Amino acid sequence: MNRNTRMIWLGCLSYLLVGLSTVVFGSLLSEVLHVYGRSFGDGGQLIFAQFAGFLAGVLLVPFGLRHLGYRKILTAAFLLLLIAHTILYSQPHWSILFVSLIINGFGFGTAQTAVGTLLLESMGHRKAIVMSRLEVSFGIGALVMPILSGLFISRQSAFASFAVIAVLALMMALIWGMQSFKSAVYQDTAATDAHTEAGTAKMMELLVLLSFIFIYVGLETSVINFLPSLFAERLGLSNASAALSVSFFWTSMIAGRLLSGYIAEKTGYMRFLLAGTFGALVALCGMAAISKIIAVFAFVLMLGLFLAGIFAIAIVYASRLFPHNTRRTTSILIASGGIGGAVLPLLVGRSMDYFQPALTIWLLAGCALCMLALLLALKPNKK
């Protein structure tokens, strides 16, 4: 197995664990609040603490890589996940939960950004395919963890989910700790950043991409968190039946990510992003306009397929626009997505409180329309 193949496999395993770590607390939130006798408002504070840790980790990756390198940063990231989930498994005092979730967010934010940047820097070609594989791995983790958590909850051992992640984090820390990055392809390029990326036009393109990622992650997060509630309210489904909508969504997302890299390499990154965004807009409009259950679930599958590769391909597209600034660009794009994933769901939640479910879906369609407008604002000759 050559170096690049090994890095891809390690990257996929890392993203699988990142997916597990990202959704595990949300999967167990109701159970955790029940154990501690707390309200959903308290749970929201915990989720925000995790987001704060994630944002800090993402933004500090370029600095960390410049001074410590990939091996130390990735080893430390997974050790932090080990510490966080060991604490969570021990069912600590309520105030300690905040600390452990900040550490958890910092750990998976650092790991996600560092692994993505490593593969973007080390792969001379097929970057879209590689990034899509990472996103598939993340999606599998995000799909499996709620199922695994449900099994543990049914056995009256909900906190065992944290123990599983702690063990996997220890394994990944040991594996990354044994890697070496002596090849020139992993050298820091920050010294050339100021000279190669100057210019107002480039900055405008970066701002457009930041806005695009901000809305995309906010849209995806809103769909994941509110789709069952929207279906239960609008279609009159039971909570159990409505919850299937998220399973449909993630299944189609994973299927789409398996193919998105190959399609993007063939059609061009910009064409892929435009097609995916337009398809997502059509799917959301269909969900808002039609109330037949079978048709709405079909639109959910369609939405997942079209959204599937957008994030990964947008990151690869940005790395092509800023070829000598991959670390910093990847970091701020993921950070922008993290902020969008925290802010837009708040707006969607307020919309669900004050408006009809169909109007909330139209709000999500409006987000997709804004994404399409941002893409059209980019230079049309870029691939």
Of the chain, the percentage scoring pLDDT greater than 70 comes to 90
Q: How far apart are CA 295 and CA 62, in angstroms?
A: 45
DSSP characters over 108-161 = HHHHHHHHHHHHHHH-SS-HHHHHHHHHHHHHHHHHHHHHHHHHHHHTT-TTHH
Q: Is 249:326 a contact under the CB 8 Å cutoff?
A: no
Most confident of 95-109, 231-245, 288-302: 95-109
Q: Say if residue 137 is in the same domain as residue 14.
A: yes
Final residue of a domain: which of 188, 216, 237?
Answer: 188
Q: Say if residue 24 is in the same domain as residue 82.
A: yes
Higher pLDDT, 45 or 278: 278
Q: Say if residue 176 is in the same domain as residue 281.
A: no
Give the mean pLDDT of 258-287: 92
Q: Say if residue 172 is in the same domain as residue 321.
A: no
Q: Say if residue 166 is in the same domain as residue 284.
A: no
Q: Say if residue 229 is in the same domain as residue 293.
A: yes
Q: What is the pLDDT of residues 22-42, one digit of tens each?
A: 888 877 877 888 888 887 677
Coil, helix or strand at residue 77: helix
Q: Say if residue 225 is in the same domain as residue 180.
A: no
Domain count, the chain: 2
For the cut 60, the answer to whether the pLDDT of residue 190 exceeds it is no
Q: Say if residue 302 is in the same domain as residue 329.
A: yes
Q: Say if residue 51 is in the same domain as residue 71.
A: yes
Q: What is the dihedral of CA 43, 44, 45, 48, to 10 degrees?
A: 130
Boundaries of domain holding 31: 3-188
Q: Say if residue 166 is in the same domain as residue 199.
A: no
Q: Say if residue 180 is in the same domain as residue 216.
A: no
Is residue 383 a part of any domain in this protein? no
Instruction: Categorize the per-residue pLDDT at 382 as very low, low, confident or very high, splitting at 50, 70 and 90.
Output: low
Is residue 382 a part of any domain in this protein? no
Rounded to two decimals, the pTM is 0.79
| Rg of the Cα atoms in the chain | 20
| Structure tokens that stand for 35 in this block | 């154990």
Instruction: Categorize the per-residue pLDDT at 176 as very low, low, confident or very high, splitting at 50, 70 and 90.
Output: very high
Q: What is the pLDDT of residues 277-334, one digit of tens each?
A: 999 999 999 988 888 888 888 999 999 999 988 988 998 888 888 877 777 888 889 8
Is residue 87 a part of any domain in this protein? yes
Q: How far apart are CA 49 and CA 277, in angstroms?
A: 31
Q: Say if residue 81 is in the same domain as residue 198.
A: no
For the cut 90, the answer to whether the pLDDT of residue 99 exceeds it is yes
